[in-house]
């Protein structure tokens, strides 16, 4: 029997303090991730006056989002299985889940490397006939997806640390990777002597690789973060033992990982499809500028959504562990605290979008038209933030407890049934600002479904935990 001193903190520490300790490091690291994503685009927007480089990065987002969907969804399944196994004191199952997760990570990275190498150009050619955008985008995604082993392994090793409560170590890997990306971006992108930000700063040295430099900076940061995560798991994570024998796929673990993770993969892949389709609606109905505005919004909103996702990542192992340990009071308190925190973060974020949109957009060297449309975009889409905070948490609750298809239904209805059709219909008004209203409309539908599914999930979980 384990002594109280050796009991995992996720089963004994006060919930508020535990959620704070688990989530804040990840929220800070997610903010760092959001910052470097924005810095990437800010530097790329300085390359030329045409804005084609920034447009290329915008159109690349659906492919990058698809990559994150497979990596994040698979690791969500692994994370949940590890936490549940540890909650049941089943170390062997936890080790098998970790080894199987790493095997699936390597397979997924290989698949996306092939996609990047062979399908990047057709992907961009299908979106625009502007040859310069196609060329820039092809270079960027070929490098990012071709070197995707870094981001996939980073996902894997960070989730192992998170599933055992070692969020500080996970944060260190994320922070280091993001910092390396930020430092290398201007060095790789610009030549020595290049004036930046309207001559306010001149590069003292640089490689002058342009868009390719942004991609190389990205994968370098990811690879370093992955290596750090591997070292931390080997030497500082006694709850999981990475063994060579466990790298062979364990059938029951694969099944359990994808039982939880596949709805998330599908859900996020639907998000990638949604972004691709919205880009086409915007380009066809308006211009490449409209799609670029949407892309800039996505970069900026990550500052608000990433902390909520960090909160989410801290919440999931707590719920999974206590669900496995059959402690319903701790599960319920974790959910309640997480929802209140997420809604508060979203409310602050919308206030910033509402009151200071011009200041945010000026970071991207915008034209007059881009600034005008961007202000409308931030203020109108921002209406969806507060209900989105509730939905993000409740969707993850259903995944962590074992009803992942509820989250899939919610996401599919929000994006495929409501968002895309609404955006398409509103585009016929000829007013770009009207298209942005599709987002709050879709979020209201998502909110209603999330409430219903959360109630059903908790009823089922209460019965399970009382047995």
**199, two tokens:** 């001559």
Does residue 465 fall inside a structural domain? no
Domains of the chain: total: 1
In a domain, 54, yes or no: yes
Q: What is the pLDDT of residues 231-261, one digit of tens each?
A: 999 999 888 888 887 788 888 889 989 888 8
Residue 359 lies in a domain: yes
Q: Which helix (H) or strand (E) holds 409?
A: helix 404-412
- For residue 2, what pLDDT is reported? 42
* Burial environment of residue 301 by CB neighbours within 10 A (0 to 12, 13 to 18, 19 or more): buried
- In angstroms, the CA 380 to CA 371 distance is 14
With residues binned 3-state (H G I as helix, E B as strand, rest as coil), the percentages for the chain, rounded to 5, are 85, 0, 15
Q: Is the pLDDT of residue 405 over 70?
A: yes
Return the pLDDT at 7: 62
User: What does the pLDDT look like over 286-299, one tens digit per residue?
Assistant: 988 999 999 999 88
Give the integer Cα–Cα distance in Å for 446 and 341.
19
Residue 6 pLDDT greater than 70, yes or no: no
With respect to residue 467, please indicate whether it lies within any of the assigned structural domains.
no
Asked, for residue 423, whether it belongs to a domain, the answer is yes
pLDDT at 387 over 70: yes
Question: Could you write out the DSSP letters of every residue in 4-57?
Answer: GGGS-HHHHS-HHHHHHHHHHHHHHHHHHHHHHHHHHHHHHHTS-SS-HHHHHH
φ and ψ at 202, to 5 degrees?
-120, 130
Residue 299's pLDDT is 85
Are 202 and 192 in contact by the 8 Å Cβ rule? The answer is: no
Does 4 have pLDDT greater than 50? no
Range of the domain at 377: 9-460
**154-165, pLDDT tens digit by residue?**
999 998 988 887
Residue 267 domain-assigned (yes or no): yes
**Chain-wide mean pLDDT for the chain?**
87
**Which residue did the predictor score with more confidence, 383 or 3?**
383
62: CB partners within 8 A, 6+ apart: 272, 273, 275, 276, 279
CB of 462 closer than 8 Å to CB of 403: no
Enter the tokens of residue 387: 């209900």
Mean pLDDT of 21-37: 77
411 belongs to a structural domain = yes
- The answer to whether residue 251 sits within a structural domain is yes
């Amino acid at each position: 029997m384990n002594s109280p001193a050796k009991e995992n903190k996720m089963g004994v520490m006060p919930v508020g303090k535990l959620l704070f300790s688990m989530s804040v490091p990840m929220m800070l690291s997610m903010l760092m991730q959001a910052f470097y994503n924005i810095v990437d685009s800010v530097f790329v927007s300085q390359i030329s006056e045409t804005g084609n480089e920034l447009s290329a990065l915008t159109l690349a987002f659906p492919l990058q989002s698809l990559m994150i969907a497979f990596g994040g969804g698979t690791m969500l399944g692994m994370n949940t299985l590890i936490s549940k196994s540890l909650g049941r004191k089943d170390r062997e199952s936890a080790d098998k889940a970790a080894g199987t997760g790493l095997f699936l990570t390597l397979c997924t990275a290989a698949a996306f490397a092939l996609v990047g190498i062979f399908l990047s150009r057709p992907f961009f050619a299908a979106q625009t006939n502007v040859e310069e955008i196609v060329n820039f985008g092809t270079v960027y995604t070929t490098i990012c997806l071709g070197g995707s082993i870094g981001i996939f392994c980073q996902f894997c090793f960070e989730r192992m640390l998170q599933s055992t409560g070692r969020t500080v170590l996970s944060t260190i890997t994320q922070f280091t990777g993001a910092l390396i990306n930020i430092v290398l971006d201007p060095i790789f992108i610009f030549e020595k002597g290049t004036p930046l930000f309207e001559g306010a700063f001149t590069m003292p040295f640089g490689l002058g690789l342009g868009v390719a430099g942004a991609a190389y900076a990205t994968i370098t940061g990811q690879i370093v973060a992955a290596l750090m995560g591997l070292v931390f798991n080997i030497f500082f994570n006694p709850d999981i033992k990475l063994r060579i024998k466990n790298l062979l796929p364990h059938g029951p673990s694969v099944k359990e990982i994808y039982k939880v993770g596949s709805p998330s993969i599908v859900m996020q892949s639907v998000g990638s499809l949604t972004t691709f389709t919205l880009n086409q609606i915007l380009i066809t109905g308006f211009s490449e500028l409209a799609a670029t505005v949407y892309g800039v919004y996505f970069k900026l909103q990550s500052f608000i959504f990433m902390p909520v996702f960090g909160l989410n990542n801290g919440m999931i192992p707590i719920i999974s562990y206590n669900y496995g340990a059959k402690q319903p009071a701790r599960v319920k308190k974790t959910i309640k605290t997480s929802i209140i925190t997420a809604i508060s973060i979203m409310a602050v974020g919308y206030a910033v979008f509402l009151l200071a949109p011009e200041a945010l957009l000026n970071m991207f060297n915008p034209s007059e038209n881009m600034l005008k449309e961007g202000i409308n975009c931030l203020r109108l889409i921002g209406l969806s933030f507060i209900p989105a905070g509730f939905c993000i948490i409740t969707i993850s609750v259903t995944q962590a407890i074992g009803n992942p298809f509820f989250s899939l239904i919610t996401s599919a209805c929000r994006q495929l049934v409501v968002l895309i059709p609404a955006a398409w219909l509103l585009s016929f008004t000829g007013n770009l600002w009207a298209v942005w209203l599709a987002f709050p409309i879709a979020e209201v539908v998502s909110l209603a479904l999330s409430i219903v599914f959360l109630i059903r999930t908790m009823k089922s979980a209460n019965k399970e935990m009382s047995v």
